[in-house]
Amino acid sequence: MNDKKDGAAEKGPPLALVVAVAENGVIGKENGLPWHISSDLKRFRALTMGKPLLMGRKTFESIGRALPGRETILISRDPAFVPSPGVHHAVTIDSALALAAARAEVMKADEIIIAGGSEIFAALLDRVNRMYVTFIAAAPKGDVFFPSVDWSNWEEIHREDHLPQKGDDAAFSFVDFVRRDASHHATQAMP
Ligand SMILES: NC(=O)c1ccc[n+]([C@@H]2O[C@H](COP(=O)([O-])OP(=O)(O)OC[C@H]3O[C@@H](n4cnc5c(N)ncnc54)[C@H](OP(=O)(O)O)[C@@H]3O)[C@@H](O)[C@H]2O)c1
């Protein structure tokens, strides 16, 4: 499905960003992940199942396929992109959001997942309502970084610290955040 128009009003369920980020802010390397953490892949699957996923063209190419049980809204300025089953195409951020909201309604999904990469996170960070962050206890070399976040705008509502399990390169923490009310000005250190 190709989108037809830009600038559609934002509507639909909340936007939830899902990211795994290293201590040095790295999220990617050579269009892939610079770590292998099976536990995080399982968490990504559980968090995203049954929901529409917005992702940039490079992230889609790094995954290389539609993810079962989800619908991908791929953002690319290339109008020639050919959609496939489970993969929709939008040429702008706003048309991608409108398309994701429509798909969420059909899927009865309670949130729209912002799945990256860096360009898409940067474009949507101000509009995201929730963040599911995996903090990786490592500082690998990489070429793509999570955009800078003002953590005082975010309230940590859940945290799980984990030692590496079988198939995990490093220790990690799963931390859920919700955006603070705009009137709340408490400061919070980088988690
Ligand atoms: N650690 C994590 O949680 C995580 C999550 C996701 C991705 N990643 C990593 O992040 C890296 C990819 O991220 P990236 O920032 O390089 O690329 P990206 O955000 O995945 O994709 C960038 C592409 O998206 C399209 N795009 C971006 N902004 C747009 C806009 N405003 N309107 C229309 N199209 C737009 C463009 O596609 P066209 O060039 O086709 O126009 C652009 O080249 C990979 O290494 C991946 O493994 C990590």
Q: Mean of the per-residue pLDDT values for the chain?
A: 90
pLDDT band at 185 (very low <50, low <70, confident <90, very high): very low
Confidence of residue 191 (pLDDT cuts 50, 70, 90): very low
Query: Where in the sequence is the domain holding 56, given as residue range(s)?
Result: 16-179
In this prediction, residue 11 carries a pLDDT of 74
In a domain, 2, yes or no: no
The answer to whether residue 7 sits within a structural domain is no
Report the residue among 36, 40, 75, 94 best suited for mutation to probe ligand 1: largest number of ligand atoms under 8 A from its CB.
75
Whether 11 is in a domain gets the answer: no
Measuring from atom 22 of ligand 1, which residue has the nearest CA? Answer: 56
SS (H, E, C) the chain: CECCCCCCCCCCCCEEEEEEEECCCEEEECCECCCCEHHHHHHHHHHHCCCEEEEEHHHHHHHCCCCCCCEEEEECCCCCCCCECCEEEECCHHHHHHHHHHHHHHHCCCCEEECCCHHHHHHHHHHCCEEEEEEECCCCCCCEECCCCCHHHEEEEEEEEECCCCCECCCEEEEEEEECCCCCCCCCCCC
Is residue 83 domain-resident? yes
Q: Which atom of ligand 1 is nearest to the CA of 27?
A: 1
What percent of the chain has pLDDT above 70? Answer: 90
Residue with tokens 């396929």: 65
Q: Are strands 130-136 and 172-179 parallel, antiparallel or unpaired?
A: antiparallel
pLDDT confidence tier of residue 189, bands split at 50, 70 and 90: very low
Tens-place pLDDT, residues 91-123: 999 999 999 999 999 999 999 999 999 999 999
* Separation of CA 74 and ligand 1 centre (Å): 9
Mean pLDDT of 131-157: 97
In a domain, 175, yes or no: yes
Query: Which atom of ligand 1 has the smallest separation from the CA of 59?
Result: 20
- Which CATH number fits the domain that encloses residue 113? 3.40.430.10
What pLDDT digit, counting tens, does each position of 43-87 carry?
999 999 999 999 999 999 999 999 999 999 999 999 998 888 999
pLDDT tops 90 at residue 3? no
Residues whose beta carbon lies within 6 Å of some atom of ligand 1: 19-20, 27-28, 31-33, 55-59, 62, 75-78, 91-93, 115-120, 123, 144
| Distance from Cα 120 to the centre of ligand 1, integer Å | 6
pTM greater than 0.75 (yes/no):
yes
Domain count along the chain = 1
Which residue, judged by its Cα, is nearest atom 9 of ligand 1?
Answer: 28
For residue 21, which atom of ligand 1 is closest to its CA? 1
Q: Is pLDDT of 5 > 90?
A: no
Residue 9 lies in a domain: no
Kindly indicate the confidence band of residue 9, based on its pLDDT and cuts at 50, 70 and 90: very low
Residue 27 Cα to ligand 1 middle (Å): 11
